[in-house]
Structure 1
């Protein structure tokens, strides 16, 4: 299937590792020029960008993006336009876990204000700021795709994930309404992907510690790999997707 991505420019935030690297790789394999953003792992992101360009014969760029920095989103958009001259797809994949999310022993009300507020603000405001910065360019071209990567914590819950889950759930509401607004100005679609616990190269220590019974909750009886989640994200961000819009889609094996 031709996904209609050749020559398009795609921004994938948080692409230096985890699911983000798989997303960037799949877009590049479809002929897209890919911007891989990172927060602190500049060397990893640059190495990944160089490998994408070499493997797929497309352009790839590493650029810093900080969810918590209000100036970071417009600076990123300016850098991408200077590099490519266009923006077609934005995948909001970057996250800030913060100190409270992995804590499964404490009480959420005991988290210091500065800790939980940073988790909520950065994850919500960072994605919204970048969406706001990209939107005018999508409207101008009358074509674009937004894909926001959420988490099953937003729908299923997890002790210790109260604030992270709240932030991810906010993306669902934003994307649904943004789909109406953007759709007035062209073939511009906005969707949310909700991965479950997903196996990647960087979280083996986590998924290997999960009891086998957890995977058995899913009909396929196993956890998905990052590349499988990335496949759904790339489809939603492609020209082949002409009708899935304003949706929050679980990608977790059932």
Structure 2
């Protein structure tokens, strides 16, 4: 087993990488000299900024539009990576459909449940389906899916989101079982609250309350998540397959 990530020239696709955890993860792959495809649905400017940061970190990058609720967009994005770099070595499923957010159970609008659950689960399924043949042909690949602590512990107001993410745990177990022998390892990273740009806008008392409940005494940063994703997506991960790994400080 390799003792370092050894990602030089690996082709990495990070969905939803125009900001937040996706951006930090893309840059972390760039520091390992990977070639990183940056995707966006509507924030093209943010995606371009991420690509610049990847290049500054030492990697290569290009930007491609990706809408996980549109099968043609998924196939086109994965196809663009393969056309440019010949393969997809690492797939990081990080994107979410638009409009996903907290909604109390009694206030879920007609169609919101279906839109969230199917948007997340179908989008990841079809993205993996598009990318995994190239990994199997190469005899090496890594699939890392970003979930949420809500998938196991539940969070008030996040019924559809929690169920959508929990389904990805089951999908990952199937991928691990079916494609592990082909050299394709699939895992889930399960963050709790993370200090992304959006969460940094929440009141300080919210941060303090979460930190007080966290055994490690602090809230995770995007870098905490990205470092684990890079490890799981690299040569250093020799045989971790089908795991669900929390990044939550012990919560």
Do both share a fold (TM > 0.5)? Answer: yes
Normalization by structure 1: what TM-score?
0.93
Moved over 3 A (4+): none
Corresponding residue number in structure 1 for 2:120: 123
Residue 137 of structure 2 is aligned to residue 135 of structure 1: no
State the Cα distance separating 1:183 from its structure 2 match: 1.2
Name the counterpart of 1:168: 165
Instruction: State which of 183, 188, 191 in structure 2 corresponds to 1:192.
Output: 188
Q: Please state how far the C-alpha of 1:202 moved relative to its aligned partner.
A: 3.5
Unaligned runs of 5+ in 2: none
C-alpha root-mean-square deviation of aligned residues, in Å? 1.5
Summarize the alignment of residues 53-72 of structure 1 with structure 2, pairs less than 5 Å apart. 53=55, 55-72=56-73
Give the CA deviation at 1:211.
5.3
- Give per-residue Cα distances to partners, 1:205-225, cap 9 Å, x unaligned: 136351523212222111011
Aligned residue for 1:66, secondary structure, equals coil
Indicate the residue corresponding to 1:113 in structure 2. 110
Distance 1:171 1:76 in 2: 21
**How far apart, in 2, do the equivalents of 1:183 and 1:29 lie?**
27
Q: Is the Cα contact below 8 Å between 2:30 and 2:57 reproduced in 1?
A: yes
Shift of 1:109: 4.3
Deviation at 1:97, TM superposition (A): 6.0
Partner of 1:4: 6
1:154 lines up with 2:151 in the alignment: yes
Q: 1:200 Cα shift?
A: 1.8
Q: Distance in 1 between matches of 2:132 and 2:106?
A: 36
Q: Deviations over 1:97-145 (max 9, x none)?
A: 636x323xx4x24422222211111111111110010010100001000
Which sections of structure 1, spanning at least 5 residues, go unmatched? none
Distance 1:58 1:238 in 2: 15
Q: Does 1:223 align with 2:219?
A: yes
Given candidates 2, 14, 33, the residue that maps to 2:35 is 33
Q: What residue number does 2:19 align with?
A: 17
Aligned partner of residue 213 in structure 2, secondary structure: coil
Task: Show the 5 A alignment for 1:77-88.
Answer: 77-88=78-89
Q: d(CA) in 1 for partners of 2:204 and 2:91?
A: 31
